[in-house]
Structure formats: structure tokens, C-alpha cells
Amino acid sequence: MTAVLVPQLSLSMEEARVSRWLVEDGAAVRAGQLVVEVETDKATVEIEAQAAGVLRIVAREGAIVAVDGVLAELEAALPSAASQERADGAGTAPVPVAHAAESAVLAPRAGRSGPVASPAARRVARERGIELAAVRGSGPGGRIVTRDVGGIPAEEGRASADGDDRLREAVVANIAASWQQIPHVHIGAELAADGVMRARAAVAPGAGVTVTDMLVVALARALGEVPELNAVRRSDGSVERSAAVHLSIAVATAGGVVAPVIRDAGSLTLADVARVRSRLVEAARHGTLDGHELSGGTCTLSNLGAHPVDFFAPVVSGPQVAMVAAGRVTDRPVALDGLLGIRPRMWVNVALDHRAADGEAGGRLLAALERQFTLLPGGTA
């Protein structure tokens, strides 16, 4: 029997609230099918079934479940025609079932039941005395979001500032937890960036492709060569590698740094990456990212090359085991075949969770990244 668990999306995350079930209790579900929506301190996230089977709900809507707690169990059974019809259709409210695993679920908190709303929207509504039952949600599936409880136009600036403050608090909490709990090791080098600059020069004007997009492509492919760094460390200490590279990219917003995810980045073209990255950055700066776009990252890229930054030491974003920081590209004197020449160089620093990987893996990632620079479209000499 396979369990549907609450994933740990950050080191500061301790629990999640079950917002709604997307399928009925007893329904047959497919592997990869979204089955439940939960709220964390940062976002609302939809969780998928890891295997096919008959869904047996453990945690009812409104329940607070600890990280790695059981939300439901999947019984391996052949689905009937009726249950398959339920799996393919829209889910309705689940029928609660008694189960021994309910001991992993905390009782619903007072005041957390009612309409589907984001955590930030609930906080704003509570602060302003707004009844959520009277609010029409404009988010996905009618979900109430912060803008729906923003009040009169004169108060919109304060609502936005409050939301920014709460986001910053969540970001700071995860950074603090990561720094306190993860034994860090940093491996850095000044890499040859000739390929990056040639690729940049080959980009058509107005194509919208940036150096960050090139770094995403190169890093995603480099992680394919060093799979132990494309992974997350679970709360039980196990390290889970990912077959696909889901690359988080650090984006500065008014409320702090968020890291939306470019999924399956290793299989995307440079133009695809540019398009996805542009959309995610725009959504991040407007506060419209959803939980799916913020979850599931397997490694993080932070690029400060747009600023006069050569080197910085990032904090690993747990539960990931690695984070890559890139500085600006600058022309530097380099010894080439015994002669002094000027070449574009870029400092890259890899931060590692030393419990899951060591410096040798970081060194291999840097070497693979430098090779991938030359393989960028237009990057070959």
C-alpha cells in the first residue's frame, strides 16, 4: 500500500492544512494524478498520487498534517467502472473514513474551516474582520486570494505591504532554518565564459534570451552529469535523486526572494527556458505564483550577474542538497598556452549540504558546467 504524504517544501515547514480533496474517497486514481490541495506557510500546493490505486482518505478537509504525515493511502486494486468514472471526473467532497493512520493527523484548528482561501487571504480577512463566506474568490477554482479581501482602493497599498512582509518572514524563516540545520560546504571557481558570451552574441535582437537563461540550460545539463546534486534530503535522512532537473531560480521581489521552478529544464531549448523564465519572473514580482510553481525544485540557481557581484556564498535551500551561485561575466587576464590573454570569466560557487554530498561532487559540477558553456547554441568557437 502506498501513502500520499505531506512533502517538506522548506526546512521551516512543519505542517500543512488540507484545503480540499480533488477526488472522492474510494475513487480509482492514476499515478501522477493530482488528488489533494494543501496550504503551507508560503503557498497552496496540489499533491499527486505516486502510484495508481484506490484512494482511501485519512486526513479530512481542514485537518492539520505534519510533514511526512499521511494524507491518504492507495490500495492496489483493480478499479471498477464506477470508480474509474469518478477518477476521470471532477471530485466532490470526500466521505471521511476511520483509519489507524489518523494518529498522524492533528485536529483541525479553530477558525480554519470554511471557504477555500490562501493563507495570506485568511490572515488579511481576519485582520480586517471580513467574513470569507461573503467573498467571491478570483483565484484558481474560485479560491479566495489576497486581492479579494484587499478592501477599498486606499487600503490596497497596505494589503500589498502586509503580504510582502509575510512573504519575507517565510523566506527568512527558511533561510535561518537551512543555515542552522545544514552543514554547508562551498566549492567555487572562476570558469571560462567564452561560450556564454558567444551564445549571447548569437541571440537575435529582441529574442528575450538572457544570460540567466543560458545558465539554466547549462546547469540543467551539467546536473545530468552529477545526479547526486540533483536531489532532496528527506526528513528521515534519506537522499532522493530526481530523474528530471526541476531547477528553482532565485527571483528578488518586494517581499523577499522566491524561487519558482522551471520543470524538466534539462529537456528544454534555450528559447523554451527564456519563455518559461520570463513568465515565472513576472508572476513572482506580481505575487501571482501558485503552489505548483513554487514546489518540487531539485536544485537552485541564483544569478547576481546583473550587478557588480563577482562572488557570493549562498545558503542551500533545504530540502534540496545543492545551490549554485553565479556572478557577473568580466574580462580578466588569463594565461593561454604560455601567453597572457584577456578572456571572459565568471565566478561560480556551489553550496552543498555536506550530509548528502561532498566537495568532490561540487568540483565535478563546476567542470561539467564549464563544458556545457561551450555547448550552448552559438557557444562553440
Please give the full DSSP string across 153-193, using - where no structure is assigned. Answer: GGGHHHHHHHHHHHHHHHHHHHHHHHHHHS-EEEEEEEEE-
Q: What is the pTM of this model?
A: 0.66
**Pairing mode of beta strands 53-57, 2-5:** unpaired
Taking only the tens of pLDDT, the chain with its 381 residues reads 788 988 876 666 678 889 899 999 999 999 888 899 888 766 677 888 888 999 999 999 988 888 888 999 999 865 444 444 444 444 433 333 333 333 333 333 333 345 666 655 666 777 677 888 888 877 645 667 666 776 433 334 444 455 556 666 667 777 888 888 999 999 999 999 999 999 999 998 888 999 999 999 999 999 999 999 999 998 888 999 999 999 999 999 887 888 999 999 999 999 999 999 999 999 888 878 877 788 889 999 999 999 999 999 999 998 999 999 999 999 999 998 899 999 999 999 999 999 999 999 999 999 999 999 999 997 675
Q: What domains are there in the chain, each with its CATH number? A: 2-106 (2.40.50.100), 119-172 (4.10.320), 185-374 (3.30.559.10)
| Beta strands per DSSP E along 247-321 | 247-249, 251-253, 256-258, 261-262, 299-303
Nearest to 342 by CA among 329, 350, 333, 353: 333
